[in-house]
Structure 1
Amino acid sequence: MGSGSPPYQGHRYPVEVISHRVRLYFRFPLSFRGAEELMPEHGVVVSCETVRRWCATFGQAYSGALRRRRPRPGNTWHLDEVSIKINGERKYRWRAVDADGTVLEILVRNRRDTAAARRFFPTLLEKTRTVPRVMVTDQLRSCRAAHREVMFSVEHRSHQGLNNRAESSHQPTRQRERAMKGFRAVGGTQKSLSAFSQISPRFRPRRHRMTATGCRTEVRHRFAIRDQITSAVGRPTTA
């Protein structure tokens, strides 16, 4: 039986401070400098570089724990790809959401060809551990070809108007891109967007579907789960 080192070991500030700043950065379209400027009023003085290290260190751990707790996705998935600039070069962000708008997976690739779609589909199935009944895409031929090879048993609907769910889900990521003033590296972009896609929606409940009382109850519940997750990240693991 062995144990791992708690991830918070060696950090100056307690878990409550670190987790709160990580949540703020991924929840709102803030830059690291903006997150730094919000801290002194709470008696916390750190540099934007410290905030960046916190987000890089704990963002993936928090988002992974949230991913494991999310409900089973719906049986209709919407896939879409959109171009982004990384260090001045055009790349493509592949994205899948279910019918409720829950982000299932994001993958940054150099192209939007069949090879990229062929890579994205198995990654999506592996991360969700389920197979949809219907897959909706735009009219990109690469998706059709990859579907025939990888997900041939799934009903495929290809129509521009049917895929508004996936296309509208890109908006929060565009806000994040503007706040960061562009992305710098493919690996860092993949990690940042993966964390953002899980953490940000967690603290954006669909208020239009709830009463005021129901919304407050749901928010308290989500923060309680956040506290459980951030505390669990710092516990030693046994093998």
Structure 2
Amino acid sequence: MARRRRVASVRPDQSFKGRQFTAEVILWAVRWYLMFPISYRDLELMLADRGVDVAHTTLFRWTQTYAPEIEKRIRPHLRPSNGSWRVDETYVRVKGRWMYLYCAVDSRSQTIDFLLSAKRDAEAAKRFFRKALGQPHTVNPRTITVDKNPAYPCAVEQMKEGGELWRFSRLRQVKFLNNIVEQDHRRVKRLARPGLGFGGFHTARRTLAGYEVMAMIRKGQVREIGGRDMRAQAAFVAKLFQIAP
């Protein structure tokens, strides 16, 4: 007697189990907070205007939980970046102290990766390069354009010697070529301004991951999703969590 084949069943996503509000409401709120320069209290009023009574502290917890989850789930769906990297870092205030947000884009302004660091030195630069090289949509860079920060040549040389970076990668220290990555820095500062800084390193890291991943979507980096098609973007994020739009 032939054995019956077992039909594999898809387990429902448990990310929203136990939440008072529906997944659709939560994802809507998180997406809007990460896309537009508004505070949690502003978002609380916007939701109340639509009949959803939720405290700004709850909105904060949603963002801390789901922003990094969206970032993790979206990575495999990104279009490949090219080998012309533009790398720069900017200051971010975290609990009254200045931290450093490393960011890299390619020559088409597509985001390669980002990293929040407490220090701005060769070790931080190497951590950032390793993180960027480990992403599924990136390639070993042909050129790396940076500013005059002396940490970059040291980091690149050490990574080449260790075989972590292509030995023919060319480092260019030309500040004006990094204008496109500085545009990303201005966007992050505009989004963070209503919140008046971050209360802690991990809070900042999770929120910044959300800012960056929503920017990737709006830049059109997700395959088959237009950068200005808000409905398609919302449906795509819902699909990441196995939610019917």
Q: Same fold (TM over 0.5)?
A: yes
1:45–1:203 Cα change, 3 Å? farther
How many Å separate the matches in 2 of 1:85 and 1:122?
24
Corresponding residue number in structure 2 for 1:138: 147
C-alpha RMSD of the superposition: 2.5
How many Å separate the matches in 2 of 1:112 and 1:125?
19
8 Å Cα contact 1:76/1:98 also seen in 2: yes
TM-score normalised by structure 2 residue count = 0.83
1:155 to 150, 163, 170: 170
Per-residue deviation, residues 71-123 of structure 1 (Å, max 9, x unmatched)? 01122111001122211112211111122222222211122111211221111
Segments of structure 2 that go 5 or more residues without pairing to the other structure are 1-7, 160-164
8 Å Cα contact 2:219/2:227 also seen in 1: no
Per-residue deviation, residues 137-184 of structure 1 (Å, max 9, x unmatched)? 111110111111113431211111111111221011101221110112
Aligned residue for 1:84, secondary structure, equals: strand
How many Å separate the matches in 2 of 1:195 and 1:215?
16
Segments of structure 1 that go 5 or more residues without pairing to the other structure are 207-213, 234-239
TM-score normalised by structure 1 residue count = 0.85
2:58 to 34, 46, 50: 50
Higher gyration radius (CA): 2
Aligned residue for 1:170, secondary structure, equals: helix
CA displacement at 1:23 relative to structure 2: 0.7
8 Å Cα contact 2:85/2:144 also seen in 1: yes
Report the structure, 1 or 2, having the larger helix content: 1
Task: Work out whether 1:226 is the aligned partner of 2:237.
Answer: yes
Corresponding residue number in structure 2 for 1:236: none
Per-residue deviation, residues 1-38 of structure 1 (Å, max 9, x unmatched)? 99687111111211111111111110101111111110
Q: Where in structure 1 do 4 or more consecutive aligned residues deviate above 4 Å? A: 1-5
Identity across matched positions, percent: 24
1:138–1:63 Cα change, 3 Å? same
8 Å Cα contact 2:44/2:55 also seen in 1: yes
1:69–1:194 Cα change, 3 Å? same
How many Å separate the matches in 1 of 2:54 and 2:231?
28
Map of 1:150-229 to 2, 5 A cutoff?
A: 150=159, 151=165, 152-203=167-218, 218-229=229-240
Name the structure, 1 or 2, with higher relative contact order (CA <8 Å, separation 6+).
Answer: 1
1:177–1:195 Cα change, 3 Å? same
